[in-house]
Amino acid sequence: MQDYFYALADFIGTQLQSDEVYLCEFSAENSDFIRFNRGNVRQPGSVEQRFIDLDLIKGNRHASGQLTLSGETRTDHERVIALLSELREQLPHLPEDPYLLYATEVNSSELVNTNILPDAKEALADILNNVQGIDFVGIYAAGGIFTGFANSFGQRNWHSSYSFNLDWSIYHDRDKAVKSTYAGFDWKSFIFQEKMANSIEQLDILRREPRTIEPGQYRVYLSPTALHEILQLLTWGGFGLKAQRTKESPLLRMLEEPMQHLHPSVTLTENTAQGIAPTFQSQGFIKPEQVTLIEKGTYNEALVSPRSAKEYGTNTNGADNEETPSSLDLAAGDFPQADVLNKLDKGIYINNLWYLNYSDRAACRITGMTRFATFWVENGEIQAPLNVMRFDETLYRLLGDNLITLTKERDFIIEADTYEVRSTNSTRLPGALVEAFTFTL
């Protein structure tokens, strides 16, 4: 696949006319998908697909298009020629782009990760053996994801990764369910069995009479999955230079008010070296292994795309055009996961959140709903499931003044999105124990 892409990139170079430059990004996957319902396989399948995104540049004008590749040389050459012709016709009619910036210094790279995934049948057998008699619903996706870059200057980059992601729920009745995930590179049966045993234990608690509590402030434990939802909302403009300069960042107070910060235990990094996303981006710039976004509670560095770098007169650090993290990493704390209930003592154990949005973006105030397996805890023991509640909290309290501790153990969460291709976005993060968390309904 890599050799085929490089040969195609060489062919594209032979089709250029004077003063034309091309940028080409390759994306492909070879994936197995298995959908489950009521503990049975409902839809097995596999997908092999390849695409290129081609950007044709002349001066400060550029036009782009996408092709689906067949893998057959003659057919794909014909498609490339046709696409170049279409883009060439568009160029004279497009305005010049004042913020166009792409890599002209050749910086080639190759990262080929080892495939240690189990055979799909092996993973399937393990899953089915552990979910018999349970209303188990979910999707297993696994396989190789491949990304490449080439340009007319001779730069060639390649990145391959092999991962799996099992995203599931087990149901009691209506909204009473336990949701969990297991993702990684090397399927380990004992880890999946532990996760399933924990889910089944929580499902048994969901059979108890649910409890409703009054709105107010409570001590809470946010599982890694719940905290993931909060951090995902934060990525909407939270770390990009463009959002900062246009005053749209929800973290603007951290930038403009010296005393506004998060808890010293909060260090947040774009950790490309430990994720599954490619180590380069679509304009040919190489991503650093790490970009420290927040260091010990203080805002440190923004993600800077080539366009923002050109517009604001600074250097890019390999961010994509949206300037959103793809390999977000929240540093671990020093508190054992096994002691969470005792430390929580009396409060709310939250497994999942959803429908999150900003209630006051400028203040980084977030609202959302509890979802699936949220429990009332007293004397360090789970007493009953809680009915759905709405929260409203600022990040500066949640991960700042009211943060008690973060757990030693962390979860690796791969985005379950499969639109067009499997997502390469991932997050590695602990759970969080928080004081005086505000519920409004």
Neighbours of 322 (CB within 10 A): 15
363: tokens are 């203040």
Tell me which residue has tokens 């009211």.
Answer: 402
Reduced to 3 states, what is the DSSP secondary structure of residue 356? strand
* pLDDT at 253 (0 to 100): 93
234: tokens are 């934060």
CATH number for the domain running over 2-206: 3.30.2290.10
Region 22-38 average pLDDT: 96
- pLDDT digit string, tens, across residues 54-85: 999 999 999 999 999 999 999 999 999 999 99
- Rounded CA-CA distance 104/92 in Å is 23
Return the C-alpha torsion angle 10, 16, 22, 26, nearest 10: -40
* pLDDT at 419 (0 to 100): 82
Closest C-alpha among 363, 347, 438, 440 to residue 393: 438
Please report, in angstroms and rounded to a whole number, the separation of the first and last CA atoms in the chain: 53
Tell me: pLDDT of 421 over 90. no
**Cross-strand partners of 57:** 21, 62
CB 166 within 8 Å of CB 189: no
422: tokens are 């499997």
Average pLDDT over the chain, rounded to an integer: 95
- DSSP for 62-97, please give it: EEEEEEE--S-HHHHHHHHHHHHHHHHHHGGGSPP-
CB 409 within 8 Å of CB 364: no
Reduced to 3 states, what is the DSSP secondary structure of residue 307? helix
pLDDT band for position 51 (cuts 50, 70, 90)? very high
* pLDDT at 66 (0 to 100): 96
35: tokens are 């959908």
CB 240 within 8 Å of CB 251: no
CA 41 to chain centre: 27
- Rounded CA-CA distance 267/263 in Å is 9
* pLDDT at 199 (0 to 100): 93
* pLDDT at 176 (0 to 100): 84
CB 54 within 8 Å of CB 92: no
Burial of 2 from C-beta contacts in 10 A (0-12 / 13-18 / 19+): middle
Of the listed ranges 121-130, 170-179, 295-304, 349-358, the least confidently predicted one is 170-179
User: In the chain, what percentage of residues exceed pLDDT 90?
Assistant: 94
- pLDDT digit string, tens, across residues 346-396: 999 999 999 999 999 999 999 999 988 999 999 999 999 999 999 999 999
Closest C-alpha among 67, 60, 62 to residue 25: 67
Residue ranges covered by each domain of the chain: 2-206, 216-265+330-439
Q: Whole-model pTM?
A: 0.92
- Residues near 301 by beta carbon (within 8 Å), at least 6 away in sequence: 291, 292, 293, 317
Reduced to 3 states, what is the DSSP secondary structure of residue 224? helix
- DSSP for 397-427, please give it: IIIIITEEEEEEEEEEEE----SSS----EE
In the Cβ-directed half-sphere of 21, how many Cα atoms lie within 13 Å?
A: 18
CB 315 within 8 Å of CB 309: yes
* pLDDT at 420 (0 to 100): 84
Closest C-alpha among 349, 382, 394 to residue 224: 349
- Rounded CA-CA distance 281/336 in Å is 37
Burial of 412 from C-beta contacts in 10 A (0-12 / 13-18 / 19+): buried
Region 229-256 average pLDDT: 94
Closest C-alpha among 137, 158, 156 to residue 147: 158
- Residues near 258 by beta carbon (within 8 Å), at least 6 away in sequence: none
- pLDDT digit string, tens, across residues 330-354: 999 999 999 999 999 999 999 999 9
Tell me: pLDDT of 259 over 80. yes
pLDDT band for position 173 (cuts 50, 70, 90)? confident
Neighbours of 202 (CB within 10 A): 22
Tell me: pLDDT of 106 over 90. yes
Distances in Å between the Cα of 137 and the Cα atoms of 39, 217, 350 are 7, 34, 20
